[in-house]
Every structure is written in structure tokens, then in C-alpha cells.
Amino acid sequence: MGERKILNISLPEELYTTVHNLAESENKTKAELAREMIVEYITKREQWATIRQWGMESASKINLTSEDQLDDLIHAGRRDDMND
């Protein structure tokens, strides 16, 4: 993983206790658990950014310019499905 830097954080007591208990139950250190949580958070943010970008590109291709237009399209599709 290369060179490491230290990150000190303070947590409310209740959150600290939850993290402590979770780390203990998973037989990990609090630091290991925090690293895993941070990596998971970053990964999820990147995935959602990709999904948002795909959504914006898809909307642009069919000239959607508002959420109202999207709602209308969804409802029209549902009506069509019900009539099949």
C-alpha cells in the first residue's frame, strides 16, 4: 500500500462505542475497520458518480430536460405495460 499517513478523528461517544464493538466482533482493529469503511465510501461515491453521468448522457440522448418529462415518460411506459 506504500507510505502511510496518520489521520486522527474524534467521534461522539455513541459512535465510538459502535465502531469499537463492530471492530471487536469482526476481530479487527478500529483502524482496519475505519480504512475499510473509507474505501467503501469512496468506492460507492465513484459508482454513483458513474451512474449519474450515465443518466445525464441517457437523458441528453432522448432530449429530457426536466424531472417532469422523466415522470411523464415513466408513467407512459407503465400505462403501455398495463395495456399489453
What range does the domain containing 26 cover? 13-83
Q: What is the pLDDT of residue 1?
A: 65
Could you tell me if residue 7 is inside a domain? no
Give CA angle at 43 (74, 20), nearest 5°: 120
Q: Give how many domains the chain has, as a whole number.
A: 1
Query: CA–CA separation, 54 vs 9, rounded Å?
Result: 35
Could you tell me if residue 35 is inside a domain? yes
Could you tell me if residue 27 is inside a domain? yes
Give yes or no for residue 47 having a pLDDT over 80.
Answer: yes
Could you tell me if residue 46 is inside a domain? yes
Percent of the chain past pLDDT 70, that is, above it, reads 98
What pTM does this model have? 0.69
Could you tell me if residue 40 is inside a domain? yes
Torsion angles phi and psi, residue 7, rounded to 5: -125, 110
Could you tell me if residue 43 is inside a domain? yes
Could you tell me if residue 4 is inside a domain? no
Q: What is the DSSP letter of 15?
A: H
Q: What is the pLDDT of residue 19?
A: 97
User: What rounded mean pLDDT belongs to the chain?
Assistant: 92
